[in-house]
Structure 1
Amino acid sequence: MQALTPADEDAAIAVCARRPDAHVFVASRIQEGALRTTPGCLLGYADREDPLGWRSLLWTGANVVPVDVGPDTAPDFAQRLRRRSRWASSLFGPADDVLRLWTLLTPSWGAPRAVRGSQPLMSTTVPPSELGLALEERVRLARPAEVDAVVPAAAAMFTEEIGYPPYVGSVTSYRRSVAALIEQGRTYVLSEGPDVVFKADVGSVALGTAQIQGVWLAPHLRGRRRAVPAMAAVVEAVLRDHAPRASLYVNDFNAAARATYARIGMREVGEFATILL
């Protein structure tokens, strides 16, 4: 096992390409230059018999994300992770890989905040308009000048999903991360008056896949048939402007969200898990 370098970039991308829907997060970070700017962020388990040269990868940034970490490679990765005290905010990715790693890490990393053991991974290549769905025409890209309007929506989504707020005290760092997505043209919003009442982000783009995250609808609009046309508009734009495939993962217990995604044509293609630390 070793840390990958910029010379390994193409081979690492090829490993991720075995399952684009599942590994778009890691692939996008590689394409953004992480192997050059953050040495040691990606570990690889070599396989001399594999033409790609790597059997498994493990992203070790603010989150830990496995790529094809099977029973044969998980113990070595876990041993490497145990050398450091728990630093990550989460461990997420394909459910089998995540839960396998977590079983090995639990004795040293301790109890998690939460275990989301089953999160359907869903994707589509079909624009919702081709399915005859109405699109919410007011959904659009957020503008840089609207950062302060988007931050409350983003923070509300984070708090509902994770169980605690994304910042305490100064909002500066969190505001910067929200602004970065907006500046990249990756945040879609629906505003009513001065308030953002719907939001969705494109968190990762690679391998012909764009992964949607951070979906939020204001509580007072839930149950009023507003989610389907808003999400349909987002997926329509993502397929047009970002990648030919749109994907996301959702908690298995979130029946309303799963129904919305199925209604706009997304189908289950795998299963994720997330360990919140």
Structure 2
Amino acid sequence: MRPDDWYCTQDLTGFLAHAGGFLRSRPDLHTVALTVTETLRTSGLRAYGDEPPVFGVLELGGQVRAAYFRTPPFRLNVTPLGPDEADSLAAHLIALGHSVPGVIAARDTAEAFAAAWRRHAGGRSLVSQRQRLYRLGNLTLPNPLPPGRARVAGKEDRERLIRWYGEFIDAVGDHAARDAAAWADARIARGGITFWESGDGAPVAMAGVTRVVAGQVRVAPVYTPPHLRGRGYAGAATAAVSRSALTSGVREVLLFTDLANPTSNSLYQRIGYRAVSDFAAYDFRDDRGF
């Protein structure tokens, strides 16, 4: 496998024309690539920052075998690869002069690419998060449901959404993929966030859902303010958006969990989510620690 078996582009339309069929062939394993490229297609290439995104494809024998994208300054996201493919990708990116701050991918792929990056670029790689991808099977509503009801967030909820999105990003220890205000506006415009309201009508948790693409959606984010946790609100909100997605006719409802949080993993399994694959995120550091 050679580094020049890969090609790199900043042309989203061309990338999707070339790799779209491949991405849609496994909408579960490729869910992030599908939803991010759909956001870029509908909201513009600056949806995730000022620096243009980069896309790449591995093609062998006239068939697309793998794809990657990166929306700077965030980690590289890559579809499943074998060790040789991971090695050739690392060499390809280095030959192009690309700086890669980390990678997120299916666990074996992330491990293989992190090892390849160390061989080619030096430095260290550190695991920053281990995740599990789940797919909804038979939805089971929490029993009992907490008092209250589900409600789709509207324009009147904008400030709360901005605040809760920031709190969610802080809680998961990551960087915001989008400006909080832009994120809130986009979600409100398409009804992409559902609150669980307590009996007195106060929002106590939220669950979001991505755009429908390739017959799949992903539940994200799910957030309950710290002082309201442990009362079943997140489970109720997640069940509500999951049921709404199913009734809309999508084929797959997906979500990621942090494997370091056994509470959320147990919760999602109780309401009908089943494991698909484990993922890992690595951050890269040079010899000076940067």
Amino acid at match of 2:81: V
Distance apart, 1:247 and its partner CA: 0.6
Question: Structure 1 176/111 Cα, relative in aligned 2: closer, same or farther at 3 Å?
Answer: farther
Q: Which residue of 1 aligns with 2:78?
A: 66
Q: Aligned to 2:275, what secondary structure does the other structure show? A: strand
Indicate conservation of the 8 Å contact 2:35/2:210, yes or no: no
Cα distance in 2 for partners of 1:218, 1:40 equals 33
Amino acid at match of 2:186: A
Q: Which residue of 1 aligns with 2:106?
A: 94
Q: Aligned to 2:112, what secondary structure does the other structure show? A: helix
Q: Which residue of 2 aligns with 1:189?
A: 195
Distance apart, 1:257 and its partner CA: 0.2
Task: Name which of 41, 54, 60 aligns with 1:47.
Answer: 60
Distance apart, 1:113 and its partner CA: 7.1
Distance apart, 1:70 and its partner CA: 2.0
Q: Aligned to 2:149, what secondary structure does the other structure show? A: coil
Q: Aligned to 1:200, what secondary structure does the other structure show? A: strand
Cα distance in 2 for partners of 1:71, 1:240 equals 40
Cα distance in 1 for partners of 2:122, 2:215 equals 35
Distance apart, 1:232 and its partner CA: 1.2
Question: Structure 1 7/225 Cα, relative in aligned 2: closer, same or farther at 3 Å?
Answer: closer
Cα distance in 1 for partners of 2:239, 2:152 equals 14
- After superposition, residues 194-213 of structure 1 pair within 5 angstroms as 196-213=203-220
Cα distance in 2 for partners of 1:135, 1:124 equals 21
Amino acid at match of 1:99: E
Task: Name which of 147, 155, 160 aligns with 1:144.
Answer: 155
- Residues 201-246 of structure 1: per-residue CA shift (max 9 Å, x gap): 2235322111112211122222223332222112112222372321
Distance apart, 1:40 and its partner CA: 6.5
Residue 188 of structure 2 corresponds to residue 176 of structure 1: no
Count of aligned pairs = 265
Distance apart, 1:93 and its partner CA: 2.6
Indicate conservation of the 8 Å contact 1:115/1:275, yes or no: yes
Q: Which residue of 2 aligns with 1:2?
A: 7
Q: Aligned to 1:205, what secondary structure does the other structure show? A: coil
Distance apart, 1:256 and its partner CA: 0.6
Distance apart, 1:198 and its partner CA: 0.9
Q: Which residue of 1 aligns with 2:288?
A: none
Residue 276 of structure 2 corresponds to residue 269 of structure 1: yes
Question: Structure 1 103/152 Cα, relative in aligned 2: closer, same or farther at 3 Å?
Answer: same
Indicate conservation of the 8 Å contact 2:137/2:274, yes or no: no
Residue 129 of structure 2 corresponds to residue 122 of structure 1: no
Indicate conservation of the 8 Å contact 1:210/1:247, yes or no: yes
Q: Which residue of 1 aligns with 2:49?
A: none
Cα distance in 1 for partners of 2:61, 2:162 equals 47
Please give the root-mean-square deviation of Cα atoms over the aligned residues, in Å: 3.3
Question: Structure 1 111/152 Cα, relative in aligned 2: closer, same or farther at 3 Å?
Answer: farther
Q: Aligned to 1:250, what secondary structure does the other structure show? A: strand
| TM, length-normalised to structure 2 | 0.77
| TM, length-normalised to structure 1 | 0.80
Question: Structure 1 265/136 Cα, relative in aligned 2: closer, same or farther at 3 Å?
Answer: farther
Cα distance in 1 for partners of 2:20, 2:81 equals 15
Cα distance in 2 for partners of 1:213, 1:276 equals 22
Indicate conservation of the 8 Å contact 2:59/2:65, yes or no: yes
Question: Percentage identity across aligned positions?
Answer: 20
- In structure 1, list runs of 5 or more residues that go unmatched: none
Distance apart, 1:55 and its partner CA: 1.1
Question: Structure 1 113/199 Cα, relative in aligned 2: closer, same or farther at 3 Å?
Answer: farther
Cα distance in 2 for partners of 1:153, 1:184 equals 18
Cα distance in 1 for partners of 2:53, 2:281 equals 22
Indicate conservation of the 8 Å contact 2:151/2:195, yes or no: yes
